[in-house]
Amino acid sequence: MIQIQDRKQCCGCSACADACSRKAIRMVPDGMGFPYPAVDRDRCVECGICESICAFHPVTAPAGRAFAVRFPDYLDRSQSGGLGYALMRKAVREGMVVYGAAMGDDFVVRHRRVTTEGGLEPLRLSKYVQSDLTGIPGQVLEDLKAGKKVLFTGTPCQCAGIGALAGSHRDALLLVDITCHGVPGPYVWRDYLKYMEKREGERLTGALFRDPAQGWHGSREKLCFGSRSVLNEDYSYLYFRCFMMRPSCLACPFASLSRPSDLTMADCWGVEKALPGFADDNRGCSLMLVNTDAGSAFAASFDENPRIREVDIDDVLQPNLQAPTVAHKYAPLFERSYVKHGFAYVLRHFGKDSWNHRIASCIVKVKKWL
């Protein structure tokens, strides 16, 4: 029976819960909202399926070819170069079922099943929080068993879990993973939004983790309060300083060029130098890694006219294609403080306006000056 001794060993994909025919596993959130499997010992017959299905291990797939890709018509509503949307759109047009991460009206990020082009809209753009996958692996398996073809997009660990559960149906499943810096806990995102509602004195009506209108290199979140919008960076600051990552992200076995998926999407950071003139306007460019023959066949043709150029991966290699994210040295203290005192407290002590940050910035400036 699955028992998590070390939180770094579980990515929370919930494939083990959906693999259990006795329904003996429930995903239970910890203090940051990260789900972990909890086994009901009265139902469990110790068949071992939950342990054998766990795919949170390195894969030995060889690195494939790399391409810089850009869909000019999609840049305004995509995070990188629109590759994610183009793949999902092509899949739906070919009658496939698509799964991806969407933010609901309650601002909770969950994976959802989509079969129409219109339904793809909420799947676009990056949501920098762990997406809730409850029940999704089982739903994907049902689709596959019913003879449907499925395209699943998600983090590499989510793709690995879904791929393992698909088993003999894997051929009808196309896995597309994102290059991933790590996922923060859903409760932190929830409490950040509550904090902002209190600060602004109004109900939140919309939220974007990274607004494409600020440019591809921009990293501020956009929050809407009726007709008014606020650009803020309290959440993105904590995210990019690596205070609030899931522990397993810090030991991610997929942070390399050996991927558990057919295709990988990423930001093509460094494209301005690698391919001058290709994407110099700060509006976004995707990196596509083609990892399998199935991925290659699927990406061979698009309905639209993308700009595509093969690149040398060494020219656009980025940190999370080489190694897992390293947590901030105060990340454990951040977690304890958040669970005990809440979001406003951690923002005051670890945020960009905290004394800790101001003193650290001064030290850096003085060191540069010396």
Ligand X SMILES: Cc1cc2nc3c(=O)[nH]c(=O)nc-3n(C[C@H](O)[C@H](O)[C@H](O)COP(=O)(O)OP(=O)(O)OC[C@H]3O[C@@H](n4cnc5c(N)ncnc54)[C@H](O)[C@@H]3O)c2cc1C
Q: Which residues of the shown chain bind ligand X in the complex (CB under 6 A)?
A: 78-85, 88, 100-101, 109, 123-129, 131, 153-155, 178-181, 183, 265-267, 286, 318, 320
Helix axes 156-166, 136-145, angle to 10 degrees: 40
| Residue 136 burial by Cβ neighbours in a 10 Å radius (0-12, 13-18, 19+) | buried
Cβ 287 vs Cβ 64: under 8 Å: no
CB of 67 to ligand X, least distance (A): 12
- Smallest distance from ligand X to CB 313, Å: 13
Task: Tell me the closest approach of the beta carbon of residue 322 to ligand X, in angstroms.
Answer: 11
Q: Which two tokens stand for residue 81?
A: 């170069």
The angle subtended at Cα 8 by Cα 125 and Cα 266, nearest 5°, is 25
Residue 158 vs 223, nearer CB to ligand X: 158
Q: How far is the CB of 320 from ligand X (least distance, A)?
A: 4
* Of 20 and 279, CB closest to ligand X: 279
- Residue 238: in which H helix or E strand, if any? helix 234-240
CA-CA distance, 19 to 112, in Å (whole number)? 19
For ligand X, the closer of residues 296 and 318 by Cβ is 318
Report the nearest approach of ligand X to the CB of residue 175 (Å): 12
**Which residue minimizes CB distance to ligand X?**
84
- Based on CB atoms, which residue is closest to ligand X, 19 or 127? 127
Structure-block tokens of residue 330: 């105060």
Spell out the SS3 assignment of 10-43.
CCCCCHHHHHCCCCCEEEEECCCCCEEEEECCCC
CB of 6 to ligand X, least distance (A): 22
In Å, how far are 141, 176, 213 from 155, measured between CA atoms? 18, 8, 24
Select 14 or 155, whichever has its Cβ closest to ligand X.
155
> Among positive and negative, which fits the CA dihedral 332, 338, 340, 344?
positive
> Measured from the CB atom, is 127 or 220 closer to ligand X?
127
